Amino acid sequence: MLRTIIFDFDGTLADTLPLCYYSFQNVFWQFDNKEITEAEILSMFGPSEVGIIHENLLSEEKEVAVERYYECYEEKHHDYVKRNHEIVDLLIHLKKQGFQLAIVTGKAKRSLDISLKALGLVSFFDCIVAGDDVMKPKPDPEGILLVLNTLNVNANEAIFIGDSDADILAGKQADVRTIGVQWLPNYQSATFTVQPDDFIKKTDDFLISLNTRFSK
Cα 167 from Cα 112, distance rounded (Å): 17
Please list, residue by residue across 156-176, b when 16 or more beta carbons sit within 10 angstroms of its beta carbon and e when fewer do.
Answer: ebbbbbbbbbbbbbbbbbbeb
Which residues are tagged catalytic? 8
Cα 146 from Cα 152, distance rounded (Å): 10
The set of residues, in sequence order, having a beta carbon less than 8 Å from that of 60 and lying 6+ positions away, is none
Cα 116 from Cα 193, distance rounded (Å): 30
